[in-house]
């Protein structure tokens, strides 16, 4: 675990040093859980977004795009349930004045018990060697059995209390477990209260009678309220989908782990409208397609897993997360939800407008059911970054940090270097750069040794470096160096484009 936390720290430092991600308002010591994307970050993020758009919109004739506004009519959030139910249980410590999510305090307590059990298991495995039977140990070791029973009891109190929104029961649980403030050690807690995660602001001037509006906490509602506009103008027939990428805002209480949990983040969501009764089939299809998309980035399959939800939100009849093994362990990366007709039904009720679809195949009019795929772009960015970050020992005892990004996602595709700053080499390198930059993101560099320039481009994941030397002036050949293998070959300069283009091909099967 310590090693993994270490990896996260290294990734955060690397992301800052190489212009991927900066803390927001850095010169003012940052703003909690808000981040800015630097020159390399913005390219990588755009490439991930484009790859998602390609898989969802370009590859599906029955999915079209939308870019709805962040501000929406306040009643949207009443209808969606966010005004009444989009909240976390909050508790303050009266001595430290620190604020916590009450359920997270209990979950951290559970994690400590689990860590103790894991330690016992590790110790026993060492003691018994090959003859160790983990299952038997878990079922018979008195300390482990007691810990597991305690865990079950705590879960059986926490989750039903959360479902009932029973704040008093959660407070009682914290007191019964003797949970102390992790910072001050104090047990002097306030009551637990619900805290709505939506940011609000005023629209219009107060003299005009300004109204309170919200920064959207999910992009999905922009799709729901536009579903008939899109269906009619694009002449879509069910089943069809609407895809959208854009900012979402949540006043997260426990905001930590870099860009994993942010207060301002970007979502890539697709709502797929289907005939009632067919939703389970489509739910299964979208689970498969979305997993295929993740695998098509080249990240190994063992880094992903599904987590099917046992407890479902009131509007869902099936839900699963695609979890990714981040440096801090397996965590939610994407959600796939069968949302029934809850949202469209609620918007019909609150707006008084019919949101029905006439299905000419069965001669029936209905409110469609919806399968949603919802992924955080920033989380995907972190997944890509943490999978790509590689420290390598090289011959001669040197080291390099290389970002093994899939070439189609890399910020720059080609770096062009003149070997020296004289003898007409920069002019020749510029000529090559000018021939390539219309098709690829290229970077021109003439400072430092070639070795140092290679290292800088390894660190940002540039798949190819092209070096122009004196021979280039004679025969128009260059040295092409590949990032991962570090192999160099001499090629005619007019072949660069073809080789690079080939490496950028995206896998589109099964998407």
- Looking at 69-77, 222-230, 264-272, 302-310, which segment touches ligand GAP (CB under 6 A)? 264-272
Least distance from ligand GAP to the Cβ atom of residue 29, Å:
21
By beta-carbon proximity to ligand GAP, the closer residue of 103 and 378 is 378
Contacts of 503 (CB under 8 A, 6+ apart): 407, 463, 464
Interaction between residue 80 and ligand GAP (CB under 6 A): no
Question: Can you give the three-state secondary structure of 73-139, one letter per residue?
Answer: CHHHHHHCCHHHHCEEEEEEECCCCCEEEHHHHHHHHHHHHHHHHHHHHHHHHHHHHHHCCHHHHHH
Chain length of the chain:
511
Interaction between residue 481 and ligand GAP (CB under 6 A): no
Least distance from ligand GAP to the Cβ atom of residue 468, Å:
43
End-to-end Cα separation, the chain, in angstroms: 34
By beta-carbon proximity to ligand GAP, the closer residue of 88 and 334 is 334
CB-CB contact of 238 with 357 (8 Å): yes
Structure tokens at 499: 């080789």
Site string for ligand GAP, 218-247 (x = CB under 6 A): x-x---------------------------
By beta-carbon proximity to ligand GAP, the closer residue of 225 and 465 is 225
- Looking at 46-54, 156-164, 373-381, 496-504, which segment touches ligand GAP (CB under 6 A)? 373-381
Interaction between residue 250 and ligand GAP (CB under 6 A): yes
Among 89, 246, 335, 407, binds ligand GAP (CB under 6 A): 335
**No. of H helices and E strands in the chain?**
17, 23
By beta-carbon proximity to ligand GAP, the closer residue of 224 and 464 is 224
Least distance from ligand GAP to the Cβ atom of residue 379, Å:
4
User: CA of 170: how far to CAs of 96, 111, 155, 313, in Å?
Assistant: 20, 17, 11, 20
Interaction between residue 291 and ligand GAP (CB under 6 A): no
Interaction between residue 333 and ligand GAP (CB under 6 A): yes
- Looking at 282-290, 340-348, 367-375, 412-420, which segment touches ligand GAP (CB under 6 A)? 367-375
Cis check: omega of the bond before 105, within 30 degrees of 0: no
Interaction between residue 442 and ligand GAP (CB under 6 A): no
Least distance from ligand GAP to the Cβ atom of residue 160, Å:
22
Beta strands in 197-328 (DSSP E): 200-203, 211-214, 240-249, 264-274, 304-308, 318-326
Using alpha carbons only, give the angle 409, 410, 412 rounded to the nearest 5 degrees: 135
Interaction between residue 334 and ligand GAP (CB under 6 A): yes
Torsion over CA: 403, 405, 410, 414 (sign): positive
Among 11, 144, 375, 405, binds ligand GAP (CB under 6 A): 375
Least distance from ligand GAP to the Cβ atom of residue 262, Å:
4
Total binding residues toward ligand GAP, as defined by CB under 6 A: 19
Torsion over CA: 132, 138, 143, 147 (sign): positive
82 strand-pairing partners? none
Q: Within 13 Å, how many C-alpha atoms sit on residue 119's CB side?
A: 9
Contacts of 390 (CB under 8 A, 6+ apart): 401, 402, 403, 404
Among 36, 92, 252, 484, binds ligand GAP (CB under 6 A): 252
Question: Checking DSSP bridges between strand 364-366 and strand 399-403, what pairing results, if any?
Answer: unpaired
By beta-carbon proximity to ligand GAP, the closer residue of 273 and 443 is 273
- Looking at 140-148, 301-309, 330-338, 424-432, which segment touches ligand GAP (CB under 6 A)? 330-338
Among 43, 325, 378, 458, binds ligand GAP (CB under 6 A): 378
- Looking at 23-31, 67-75, 326-334, 457-465, which segment touches ligand GAP (CB under 6 A)? 326-334
Interaction between residue 407 and ligand GAP (CB under 6 A): no
Interaction between residue 265 and ligand GAP (CB under 6 A): yes
Among 92, 323, 332, 446, binds ligand GAP (CB under 6 A): 332
Residue (of 106, 76, 404) closest to 216 by Cα position: 76
CA distance 243 to 228: 14
Cβ-based burial of 120 (10 A; exposed 0-12, middle 13-18, buried ≥19): middle
Cβ-based burial of 361 (10 A; exposed 0-12, middle 13-18, buried ≥19): exposed
Among 55, 79, 262, 500, binds ligand GAP (CB under 6 A): 262
CA dihedral of 128, 130, 133, 134, whole degrees rounded to 10? 80
Structure tokens at 137: 């140990």
Residue (of 38, 69, 397, 116) closest to 214 by Cα position: 69
By beta-carbon proximity to ligand GAP, the closer residue of 103 and 269 is 269
Q: Which residue is nearest to ligand GAP (CB)?
A: 376
Least distance from ligand GAP to the Cβ atom of residue 266, Å:
8
Interaction site with ligand GAP (CB under 6 A)? 218, 220, 250, 252, 261-262, 265, 267, 269, 332-335, 372, 374-376, 378-379
């Amino acid at each position: 675990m310590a090693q993994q936390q270490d990896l996260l720290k290294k990734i955060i430092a690397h992301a800052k040093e190489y212009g991927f991600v900066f803390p927001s308002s850095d010169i003012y010591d940052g703003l909690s859980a808000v981040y800015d994307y630097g020159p390399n970050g913005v390219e990588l993020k755009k490439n991930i977004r484009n790859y998602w758009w390609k898989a969802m919109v370009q590859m599906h004739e029955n999915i079209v795009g939308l870019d709805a506004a962040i501000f929406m009519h306040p009643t949207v959030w009443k209808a969606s349930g966010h005004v009444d139910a989009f909240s976390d249980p909050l508790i303050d410590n009266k001595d430290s004045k620190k604020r916590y999510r009450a359920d997270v305090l209990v979950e951290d307590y559970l994690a400590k018990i689990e860590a103790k059990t894991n330690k016992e298991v590790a110790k026993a495995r060492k003691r018994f060697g090959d003859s160790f039977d983990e299952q038997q140990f878990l079922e018979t070791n008195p300390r482990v059995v007691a810990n597991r029973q305690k865990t079950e009891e705590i879960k059986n109190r926490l989750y039903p209390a959360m479902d009932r929104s029973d704040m008093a029961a959660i407070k009682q649980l914290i007191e019964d477990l003797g949970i102390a403030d992790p910072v001050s050690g104090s047990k002097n807690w306030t009551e637990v209260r619900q805290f709505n995660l939506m940011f609000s602001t005023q629209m219009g001037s107060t003299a005009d009678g300004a109204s309170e509006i919200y920064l959207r906490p999910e992009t999905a509602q922009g799709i729901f309220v536009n579903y008939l506009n899109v269906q009619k103008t694009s002449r879509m027939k069910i089943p069809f989908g609407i895809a959208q990428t854009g900012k979402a805002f949540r006043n997260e209480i426990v905001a930590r782990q870099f860009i994993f949990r942010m207060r301002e983040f970007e979502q890539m969501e697709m709502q797929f409208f289907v005939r009632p009764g067919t939703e389970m089939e489509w739910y299964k299809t979208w689970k498969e397609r979305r997993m295929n998309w993740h695998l098509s980035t080249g990240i190994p399959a063992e880094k992903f897993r599904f987590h099917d939800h046992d407890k479902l939100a009131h509007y869902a009849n099936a839900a699963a997360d695609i979890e990714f093994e981040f440096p801090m362990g397996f965590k939610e990366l994407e959600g796939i939800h069968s949302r029934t007709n809850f949202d469209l039904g609620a918007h019909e009720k609150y707006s008084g407008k019919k949101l029905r679809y006439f299905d000419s195949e069965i001669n029936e009019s209905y409110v469609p059911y919806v399968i949603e795929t919802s992924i955080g772009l920033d989380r995907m960015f972190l997944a890509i970054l943490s999978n790509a970050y590689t420290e390598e020992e090289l011959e001669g005892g040197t080291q390099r940090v290389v970002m093994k990004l899939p070439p189609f996602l890399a910020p720059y595709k080609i770096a062009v270097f003149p070997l020296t700053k004289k003898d007409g080499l920069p002019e020749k390198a510029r000529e090559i750069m000018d021939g390539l930059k219309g098709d690829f993101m290229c970077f021109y560099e003439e400072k430092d040794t070639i070795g140092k320039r290679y290292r800088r481009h390894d660190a940002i994941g540039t798949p190819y470096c092209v070096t122009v030397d004196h021979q280039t002036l004679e025969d128009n050949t260059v040295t092409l160096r590949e990032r991962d293998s570090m192999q160099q070959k001499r090629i005619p300069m007019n072949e660069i484009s073809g080789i690079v283009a080939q490496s950028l091909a995206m896998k589109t099967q099964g998407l």
